[in-house]
Amino acid sequence: MESIKDQMDLGIMDIKEAEFYATEGGFVGLKYKNEEYKHVVLRRIMPMQQPWSYISVADHENKEIGILQSVDDLPDMQKAVVVTELDNRYYSPEILDVVSVQDKLGYVYMEMQLKNKRGIEYKKNCAIKDVSRNIRMLSDNSIIIFDVDGNRYIASDLKKLSRQSMRKLDAYLF
C-alpha cells in the first residue's frame, strides 16, 4: 500500500540538490535545482511539535520553493546556517519568574525574569494585548506568551515556576 507521501507531491526538497549558505548580507541563500536564491525565508510548519522537521523554504517574495523534511539531513555546515536562522527567527526565552502583572486599558503588562538560549538571565517588561489569544497553553504543563512586538516567551515547565508566579498567571491561563 502506498503512503500519503507517495500519492501526493508534498513539495519535499531533494537534499542532494540543495545547498544552503550564509550570504555576505547576513541572509540565508540557497542553490537548488540549477537556481540560486540570494535570500530565502525559513518557517517552521510545526514549530512546537517538530521544530527541526518540515521547514518551509520560500524566496524573498514568499513563493515556496519546497519543504525541508529534516534539518538533521543537511551536511554540518548547511545545518549550522539553517539552525542559526531558525533560532533567530523563533527566538523565545524561557520564563523563570513572573515579577509583576498589571491590567491597564486592555493590555496586560508583565515584568518577567527570563533566560535566553545562552543561559543569561535578565528581566524584561512586555505588553500583551488580547490575552485569550496571546497567552496559550502548549500542553498541560507549558505556555507560550506573545507580546505586542511579536516576541515569544515560553514556560516549558509550569511546575518550575514559583507559587507567586503561578498566582499572577492563573487568571490568564485558559
Model pLDDT for residues 9-59, shown as the tens digit of each residue? 568 999 999 999 999 988 999 999 999 999 999 999 988 788 899 999 999
- Nine cell digits for residue 168: 499572577
Length of the chain counted residue by residue? 174
Query: One-letter amino acid identity for 156?
Result: S
For residue 139, what pLDDT is reported? 87
Paired sense of beta strands 53-59 and 107-115, if any? unpaired
Q: How far apart are CA 151 and CA 93, in angstroms?
A: 9
pLDDT tens-place string over residues 122-131: 999 999 999 9
Contact (Cβ atoms closer than 8 angstroms) between residue 21 and residue 78: yes
12: left (phi over 0), alpha (psi -120 to 50) or beta: beta
